[in-house]
Amino acid sequence: MIIGFVQTKGGTGKSTLTVSAAFSKAMDRRFSSIAIVELDPQGTLKNWWQEREEMERANGHVSFHHISSTQKEVFQQGIEAIAGHNELMVMDIPGEGTGKLHTRFACAFSDLVIIPMRMSTNDESAFMENLYPIIRDIIRAVPEKRGCFRVLPVFVHPLANHQRCYDYFDDILPPHVSCLRAVYPGRSIYENFNRMGLNLNEYAVMVENNQKLTRQVEKAVNDVEALSQTIINSWEGLYGQEER
């Protein structure tokens, strides 16, 4: 299974979502080997992984790969090699203003493309102008890619009615793009947990003596587990059980 967190805009939570999903218990139960792949030349996750290594944190069966090349053949060969040795690959795709080489590749190569989007007219406009034309071209060339593109509502108020979020996107999304039945709430914990190379579950252990932070991180963990299971269910709904 190959998941791509794709959005041409920056600051939509792609890197945090990539890490959190890869280290979730739901993904751990479902897949025996998981690769995080960062295509962002800035190396945000590369720096985070280096901190993990310096702190000698256990990674289980999660590995990390950073491909900084902008040459299509180079990163295509790299991703194909990584995919061949892992049951799950989670790709973090950089926001791209022009060219959108990585975005196009991720949309074409991923089994499931997750598109983080806020409920805003600005995000809707940016999606329609920058990302949807790529999706539309891919579906024209490869019709079986219909159903692979799912918007994830992000930075949703924790008390918001989720069904209203889904209804919003159901109303505004164009053909062949649907709304994932999960949300990524706006929580301050997501801005702070990954210091010192921590993942969300490790952060929960670190703050277990602080009741306030423990309650916050427990909610965040539940968010991520629900999202990860929804992603798995969506993939299995598209492709069946044959890859088990």
pLDDT class for 99, splitting at 50, 70, 90?
A: low
Render pLDDT for 77-91 as a digit per residue (tens, 0 to 9). Answer: 998 999 999 999 999
Could you give phi then psi for residue 170, rounded to 5 degrees? Answer: -60, -35
Helix axes 72-83, 101-109, angle to 10 degrees: 30
Residue 206 covered by a domain:
yes
Q: Average of pLDDT values for 118-135?
A: 94
Render pLDDT for 133-167 as a digit per residue (tens, 0 to 9). Answer: 999 999 999 999 999 999 999 999 999 999 999 99
Better pLDDT: 80 or 98: 80
Least confident of 5-14, 17-26, 128-137: 5-14
pLDDT class for 243, splitting at 50, 70, 90?
A: very low
**Any idea what the Cα angle at residue 237 is, between residues 233 and 240, rounded to 5°?**
110
pLDDT class for 42, splitting at 50, 70, 90?
A: confident
Determine which helix (DSSP H) or strand (DSSP E) holds 136, and give its type and residue range. helix 132-141
The tokens for 242 are 């044959």
Cβ distance 157 to 186 under 8 Å? yes
Could you give phi then psi for residue 113, rounded to 5 degrees? Answer: -105, 120
Cβ distance 75 to 105 under 8 Å? yes
If one counts the domains in the chain, the total is: 1
Residue 26 covered by a domain:
yes
Cβ distance 235 to 112 under 8 Å? yes
Residue 34 covered by a domain:
yes
Residue 86 covered by a domain:
yes
SS3 60: coil
What percentage of residues in the chain have a pLDDT greater than 90? 81
Least confident of 8-17, 211-220, 227-236: 8-17
Cβ distance 153 to 165 under 8 Å? yes
Per-residue pLDDT, 191: 87
Q: What is the mean pLDDT of the chain?
A: 92
Core vs surface per residue 30-60: b (16+ CB within 10 A) or e: bbeebbbbbbbeeebbbebbeebeeeeeeee
Candidates 238, 231, 197; CA nearest to 17 is 231
With a cut of 90, say whether residue 101 has pLDDT above it: no
Residue 175 covered by a domain:
yes
Q: Average of pLDDT values for 174-179?
A: 95
Q: What residues make up the domain containing 221?
A: 2-239
CA–CA dist 55, 210 (Å, integer): 22
Candidates 158, 82, 148; CA nearest to 115 is 148
Better pLDDT: 164 or 99: 164
pLDDT class for 244, splitting at 50, 70, 90?
A: very low
With a cut of 60, say whether residue 241 has pLDDT above it: no
Better pLDDT: 142 or 100: 142
Per-residue pLDDT, 163: 97
Distance in Å from the first CA to the final CA of the chain: 10
Residue 244 covered by a domain:
no
The tokens for 16 are 């945090």
CATH code, 160 = 3.40.50.300
Residue 22 covered by a domain:
yes
Pairing of strands 2-5, 112-117: parallel
